[in-house]
Amino acid sequence: MNNLQLAGEKFALGAGEILRMQGYVLYVRGRVSVAHGDGYLTTRRFVFCRKPRLPFGLGQFFKGRKIVFGFALEELRSIHQQKHGLARKQVFHLRNSAEFGIQFGSRREAWLLAFGAAIRQIRPGSAPRYRKELIEFA
């Protein structure tokens, strides 16, 4: 990432960075491995922060602040939708062949539109290509 915040650090905006969208998301690491947390989409990057693990589900009332992963939006190549159990997940494909699976829940469309707008701001003149279950960024 450009502004180099590493996993385990607390999320903070970098100089000149603006928060475009934030909210509850799930990080799908495998068939049954899911982490609850908050996603942060800024003008430069997407960051997933895990919610604290507290008994009785109390962690849901706290914001996720410790970074699990993040990537610069310049590295985003495409977003592909896949079936995951009874729901669907969005798989982010990066230029370095890394992949991250995220479930956005009921705000999925708003998140995807926000990603498209953020990419258009970073790469003027290039519009995302929307297909049925795929969004490609040139």
Domain boundaries, the chain: 19-136
Q: Pairing state of beta strands 134-136 and 129-130? A: antiparallel
Spatial distance between the Cα atoms of 51 and 116, rounded to a whole number of angstroms: 26
Spatial distance between the Cα atoms of 120 and 138, rounded to a whole number of angstroms: 10
pLDDT higher for 83 or 69? 69
Tokens of 56: 């009785």
pLDDT of residue 3: 47
Decide if pLDDT at 55 tops 60. Answer: no
Portion of the chain with pLDDT greater than 70, in percent:
84
> Is the pTM for the entire model greater than 0.85?
no
Tens digits of per-residue pLDDT, 15-47? 889 999 999 999 998 777 888 899 999 999 999
Spatial distance between the Cα atoms of 64 and 51, rounded to a whole number of angstroms: 4
Q: Does domain 19-136 have CATH number 2.40.50.220?
A: no
